[in-house]
Structure 1
């Protein structure tokens, strides 16, 4: 079991505090610092594969997994309620930003802005992989802001609100993918906490993010489906075989009649995860 702390989530935890607030910050951050609008303008939501990748890698990803596993209360209902509390505004804001994207695009040289969008994703991937590297890189918001300044084109601009219903639908779907992913982590938490090595998953997610950037801006070399494949492989490789064996043996033992005098000794203590034992500190995963 990894005892690392997720670089991005740790930094945000110091700033916001509170488990639900931290989850909201992690999942809503792409909407606030300009990452999601940049991806929309770069065409990341043009296909359903892109929708799935944005939902899993941008709104979801290893930071969301780390917060759910290590910070939220272990009561499944409370966790699900926290995810839905974050998920409703996530979907709504994603639709609003997608609705404004065509108008913003009319103000920009999109080819220039796309390069900065690629740099944003690569910067997030680097920050996810290493807190030390992240300290030397500018924030995503700064990169997006510089990209906007470099790409803005005000000549012969007629500012009018344009909407693209298909793009708005794709944005809502990306938000829903992230919410369903988070809910899946919630319901599988007792097993994931014991099975997943968060270090492996974090690095795998970083590679998937970098692959997403390359697939968007160097499509000739990286197939568009590559990021989701890398993300899936990262999830598989993050499984700790020893923990899987222990869990399987624990399930087999639990199915046998208890050979004790009774009382509280026959509880399934082997299934405990953060928060079950009041005397045990939370696992420092973030």
Structure 2
């Protein structure tokens, strides 16, 4: 199981039966990063105008393709050197980016059969649900899956009278989609390359809660309730607050061993983060 106890990672591991095998963490990372493309979150955001601006591209890339689940999988599950972890990320990116471009190419055809004003509200709802699932595993048990919400949104907003097969995709939309996926890949690469330092200086669970808040603000930004860059600001603040350089310094965890080495417990996230009930006393 995910030693970081991240609700999204835990749910995927349980559903797919991933074990602590050599390929397990790599597969889990691939599934976490591909999930927005598989369950319809990314197409929903495309249709809702979530990547129409630079701020939107950054927010979708960091919160949807990247985010706390990707960070938790890399820091708490993946072994090997930073270079080896980066190779796994690049391997995932080789499939992620083209699929994101393909979904963007199909978006205009989908847009021709739905009422975008109605669908935007469902897109906001699915992001809010993901934020709740990220914040608490217990809450996530009572919420429908993102795919169900997206499906209901499509049914509620479908208007086949305007159906049109768009043979020539919008190149700008495809480019923006590729850029959003690229931001997520860049985030994952940064985490992989900086993993030894991040394990000692970043509180994964604090970042998870901050990321959940940023996700919760994203639908408000899509609906124009708050300013467009609000989710990005919240995520930056969350990263700053999760930075804890003294967490692995001093005490038994950082003390020198008899052979002159360092006790490696401080580099083991499973020793720093307890069970769901320990972290979430209200469960």
**1:96-153: CA deviation from partner (whole Å, max 9, x where unpaired):** 1011111110010011111100000000000000111100000000000000011110
Q: CA deviation at 1:194?
A: 1.6
1:54 aligns with 2:60: yes
Q: CA deviation at 1:273?
A: 2.3
- What SS does the aligned partner of 1:138 have? coil
**Gaps (5+ residues) in structure 2?**
19-23, 277-283
State the partner residue of 1:273: 267
Q: 1:158 to 1:179 in 2, by over 3 A?
A: closer
Q: Does the 8 A contact of 2:123 with 2:150 survive in 1? A: yes
- What SS does the aligned partner of 1:243 have? coil
C-alpha distance in 2, partners of 1:102/1:109?
Answer: 12
How many matched pairs? 266
Q: 1:132 to 1:285 in 2, by over 3 A?
A: closer
Q: Does the 8 A contact of 2:50 with 2:56 survive in 1? A: yes
**1:225-254: CA deviation from partner (whole Å, max 9, x where unpaired):** 11111001001111225327659xx7xx99
Q: 1:33 to 1:15 in 2, by over 3 A?
A: same
Q: CA deviation at 1:155?
A: 1.5
C-alpha distance in 2, partners of 1:67/1:173?
Answer: 23
1:96 aligns with 2:137: no
State the partner residue of 1:26: 32
State the partner residue of 2:279: none
Q: Which range is displaced more, 185-194 or 92-101? A: 185-194
Q: 1:245 to 1:273 in 2, by over 3 A?
A: closer
Q: CA deviation at 1:216?
A: 0.5
- The RMSD of aligned alpha carbons is 2.5
Of 209, 234, 243, 1:239 maps to 243
C-alpha distance in 2, partners of 1:95/1:24?
Answer: 17
State the partner residue of 2:171: 165
**1:203-235: CA deviation from partner (whole Å, max 9, x where unpaired):** 100110011110001x1x311111111001001
C-alpha distance in 2, partners of 1:30/1:99?
Answer: 16
**1:14-57: CA deviation from partner (whole Å, max 9, x where unpaired):** 23311111001101100000000000000011011111111100
Q: 1:70 to 1:210 in 2, by over 3 A?
A: same
**1:50-105: CA deviation from partner (whole Å, max 9, x where unpaired):** 11111100000000000000111132222111111111111111111011111110
- Greater RCO, 1 or 2 (C-alpha within 8 Å, sep 6+): 1
State the partner residue of 1:257: none
Alignment of 1:78-227 (within 5 A): 78-217=84-223, 219=224, 221-227=225-231
Q: CA deviation at 1:281?
A: 7.9
**Gaps (5+ residues) in structure 1?**
255-259
State the partner residue of 2:15: 15
**1:175-206: CA deviation from partner (whole Å, max 9, x where unpaired):** 11111111111111111112211221111001
